[in-house]
Amino acid sequence: MHPAFSVIFLTTLIGIGQGLFLALFTGQVYSLANLIPVQESLGFYALGSLLSLLFLALGLISSVFHLGRPERAWRAVAMWRTSWLSREVIVLPLFMLLVFIYGVAHYFGWTQPLFMVADTLPVDLTLIVGVLASVTAFALFICTAMIYASLKFLKEWHTALTVSNYTLLGLASGFMSAAAFSAYVNNDLVFLFGIWAVIFTLAGAVSRGASLIRNRALRDKYGLPTAIGVRHPNMKQLSQGFMGGAFNTREFFHGRTPEAVRLIRWFFLLTVFPIPVVLMAVAYSLESTSLPIAAFGLQYLGLIAERWYFFAEAKHPQNIYYQSMA
């Protein structure tokens, strides 16, 4: 498939926004359990929520460049019963609204307990909104991933590993960004978020590695005889009958050489998984505040390459017919 950078930026940026919010809320839950000190609402949670919204908004803006007629985008919500894309269009703004309310509640200090649970757990507005936003964040991970995992004719995507990859890589980059944000504002939660970022990165490495191994073992069910309807054991395509490319040869194939694709695969395998983990380990030993920021930046560059490879790896059935031109 032809990787569209508007979709690459959409999926990677909203993944960071979702993961970053979940990291912030994890920090709040930890403080409620008295595992870490209570963080300052205005300088940490409100500012972190604003940063999460910024990533989500950038992703939403980039998606507009993928639309042929942006003014008709609102019609997508009408297909929510059958379309995962339609569900994503509904869940994404709902999640952004909840993150906005969460940030506003912290900004104005609306953290007075509304009621107590079992006389031990004070429940305030930010906790209620945080739970709702966390559920919505995971729903958004599923909606985004199922847009691709539900396509049965693209075997490279049609697997539960697509859902786990989108979720784990979003959590890894989100918690990595939370560690970078904490380092930037000189907050004590750098290594709490860093440890979770490493855990999600390693889990993402296992899941993404499993999908690469699975896809390499796939065998084409269809071939040239099924493409043109001629049954013969020895067929070879010699010419397409035209000199230049067409919509089908451009839209459904990435157009890069096998060597370039292998180089991109090795680039993302190194920059998404082992290098950020090593940088976080060195940051922990040196108590560095700059290395978590470098780890996040490098991992995001790798995620762009990972998502490009995800789209390029899928072999559209139409390329069976257009194989030499493609």
Q: In 3D, which of 18, 55, 23 has the Cα closest to residue 189?
A: 23
pLDDT, one tens digit per residue, over 47-84 is 999 999 999 999 999 988 878 787 787 788 888 899 99
d(CA 201, CA 273): 6
Strands 115-117 and 121-123: antiparallel
Judge whether 125 and 119 are in contact, CB under 8 Å.
no
**Torsions phi, psi for 149 (to 5 deg):** -65, -20
Domain membership flag for residue 226: no
> Does residue 48 or residue 252 have the better pLDDT?
48
Interatomic CA distance for residues 172 and 242, integer angstroms: 46
Q: How many domains does the chain have?
A: 1
Q: Is residue 44 part of a domain?
A: yes
Residue 325, pLDDT > 60, answer: no
Domain for residue 235, yes or no? no
Q: Could you list the residue range(s) of the whole structural domain that residue 94 is in?
A: 5-67+74-218+247-321
Quote the pLDDT of residue 243.
66
Question: CA dihedral defined by 264, 266, 271, 273, rounded to 10 degrees?
Answer: 130
CB neighbours of residue 101 within 10 Å: 19
Residue 33 within a domain: yes
- Assigned domain for 224 exists: no
Cα–Cα distance measured from residue 163 to residue 279, given in angstroms and rounded to the nearest whole number: 27
The more confident residue out of 276 and 252 is 276
Q: Which amino acid is present at 116?
A: M
In the predicted model, is pLDDT for residue 188 greater than 50?
Answer: yes
- Give the distance, in angstroms, between the CA of residue 252 and the centroid of all CA atoms in the same chain: 22
Choice among 78-82, 102-106, 169-173, 291-295 with the minimum mean pLDDT: 78-82
Q: What is the mean pLDDT of the chain?
A: 90
- Asked if 45 contacts 28 with a C-beta cutoff of 8 angstroms, the reply is yes
Share of the chain above pLDDT 90, in %: 65
Beta bridge partners of 121: 117
pLDDT at 241: 60
Whether the pLDDT of residue 202 is over 70: the answer is yes
Q: Which residue is it, tokens 């090593």?
A: 278
Q: Specify the pLDDT at position 275.
A: 97
How far is Cα 56 from Cα 71, in angstroms, rounded to an integer?
Answer: 20
Q: What whole-number distance in Å separates Cα of residue 167 and Cα of residue 255?
A: 28
Query: Quick check: is 237 in a domain?
Result: no
pLDDT at position 41 is: 78
CATH code of residue 308: 1.20.1630
User: Region 290-315: what's the mean pLDDT?
Assistant: 95
Per mean pLDDT, which range of 227-241, 243-257, 263-277 is the poorest?
227-241
Domain for residue 126, yes or no? yes
- The percent helix, strand, coil of the chain (3-state, each to 5) is 70, 0, 30
CA-to-CA distance for 159 and 215, rounded, in angstroms? Answer: 10
| pLDDT score at 326 | 45
Count of CB atoms within 10 A of residue 173's CB? 30
Q: Is residue 211 part of a domain?
A: yes
**Could you give the count of Cα atoms lying within 13 Å of 61 in the half-sphere of its Cβ?**
6
